[in-house]
Amino acid sequence: MSPTPPLPVCLGDYERLAAARMSPMAQAYVEGGAGDEITLADNRSAFDRLRLATRVLRPMDGASTALTLLGLNLDHPILLAPVAYHKLVHPEGEIATVQGAGASRAPMVVSTQASTSLEEIAAAATSPLLFQLYVQPDRAFTLDLATRAKAAGYRALMVTVDAPASLRNREQRAGFRLPPGVSAVNLAGLPAPTLTGSAIGESPLFSGLLTGSPTWADIEALRAACDLPLILKGILAPDDARAACAAGADAIVVSNHGGRVLDTLPATIDALPRVAEAVNGAIPLILDGGVRRGTDVLKALALGASAVMIGRPYIHALCAAGAPGVAHAIHLLRAELEVAMALTGCARLADIDRTVLW
């Protein structure tokens, strides 16, 4: 008899398993980044450049990873980032993801471009849900999405502000298109953008596709129209962080969209300290991009984040093993964080600061 293969023991194992299961089209979509994918790679390598400082003989009685974030009492600081089209990698799509999130008590941020309706996902959820919102050219449609999310029990809105356009060469080379049965179902009925001009040589981006792209006025309007906590995702510049606070944001996600929007942006862990300094504790910061190990979570918290989000890693686990894979991947990351806390002498998240960095 051949031996039973071992379970995945880290997020990298799930990535390798997923690579053998994903279609080439799905792989181009999930794994690809903008341009030459320099930022995509740097999100990961920037964590590896940071070294930790071990501390010994610290009291660890009652150690815990618990925290309160935006009024939510959480067991750990790991959230599932918004990722579109989960049915690209698993037939149960977002339903399997939210079941895995519930089993590991992780909040899930549901994408506007989910391949399952936001109401169906909410009906299957047992842990907190947040709704990621792209501001649409039709502002009434946008507000309707926010209203639907609140009615379904979502606990916050996370508005993505950094992606009015992008070019991802890996997807272009693969000729990426959605397969039959996979679509952004929550955007059904939204008219496609139209170009304002058709002259030869005219830019489709500048001649129409950017018409109606969001501004700070839209954030202020959302803040006034919806009483859910408002999170802005995609802030890297300190001036934008200060503007977010002024516009009434309740939290910021320090993010470069997983390296998928503008290449050669800084890694998010490199941008985090400047954003933290600009915000100066006024609102919580969440970091995403490149998190693969519990030590990465520790480093993010040391540099000013209150929590982190993972994206590709849980998609890999979903592809490899469905809902149990998602739950297991979050468990692995949390267990690594606990080990990292113990070996740097941090009994609670509040104990984590820059002194854990060498």
For residue range 201-241, list pLDDT tens digits in order: 566 666 556 677 899 999 999 999 999 999 999 999 999 99
pLDDT of residue 308: 99
Does 201 reside within a domain?
A: no
pLDDT, tens digit, for every residue of 73-83? 999 999 999 99
Whichever domain contains 87, its CATH number is: 3.20.20.70
Question: H or E element: which one contains 129?
Answer: strand 129-133
Segment 17-45 mean pLDDT? 97
204 within some domain: no
When mean pLDDT is compared across 199-208, 272-281, 304-313, the lowest value belongs to 199-208
**212 vs 92, residue with greater confidence:** 92
Domain that holds residue 115: 11-188+211-356
Calpha distance 46→178 (Å, rounded): 32
Is residue 151 a part of any domain in this protein?
yes
On whether the CB atoms of residues 318 and 94 are closer than 8 A, the answer is no
**Angle subtended by helix axes 312-343 and 11-19, to nearest 10:** 160
Give the three-class secondary structure for 212.
coil
Establish if 58 belongs to a structural domain: yes
Number of Cβ within 10 Å of residue 87's Cβ equals: 22
Q: Is 52's pLDDT higher than 70?
A: yes
Has residue 200 been placed in a domain? no
pLDDT at 97 over 70: yes
Say yes or no to pLDDT of 344 above 80: yes
Q: At CA 136, angle to CA 133 and CA 142, rounded to 5?
A: 60
Check pLDDT > 50 for residue 1: no
What is the number of domains present in the chain?
1
State both tokens at 127: 């842990």
What number is the average pLDDT over the span 35-60? 97
Cβ partners under 8 Å of residue 27, min gap 6: 19, 174
Report d(CA 258, CA 288) in Å as an integer. Answer: 7
- Cα atoms in the 13 Å half-sphere on the side-chain side of 287: 28
What digits encode the pLDDT tens for the residues 157-216?
999 999 877 789 999 999 999 999 999 999 998 877 665 555 555 666 665 566 778 999
Whether 112 has a pLDDT exceeding 90, the answer reads yes
How far is it, in rounded angstroms, from Cα 88 to Cα 106?
A: 22
Average pLDDT, the chain: 94
Of 76, 86, 90, 257, catalytic: 257
SS3 helix, strand, coil % of the chain, rounded to 5?
45, 10, 45
Q: What CA–CA distance (Å, rounded) separates 260 from 162?
A: 10
Question: Is 206 a domain residue?
Answer: no
Is 161 inside a domain boundary?
Answer: yes
Q: Which amino acid is at 106?
A: A
Confidence bin at 59 (pLDDT 50/70/90): very high
Is residue 331 part of the annotated active site? The answer reads no
Whether residue 136 has pLDDT greater than 60: yes
134 lies in a domain? yes
Instruction: Identify the pLDDT of residue 203.
Output: 60
Q: State the pLDDT at residue 197.
A: 54
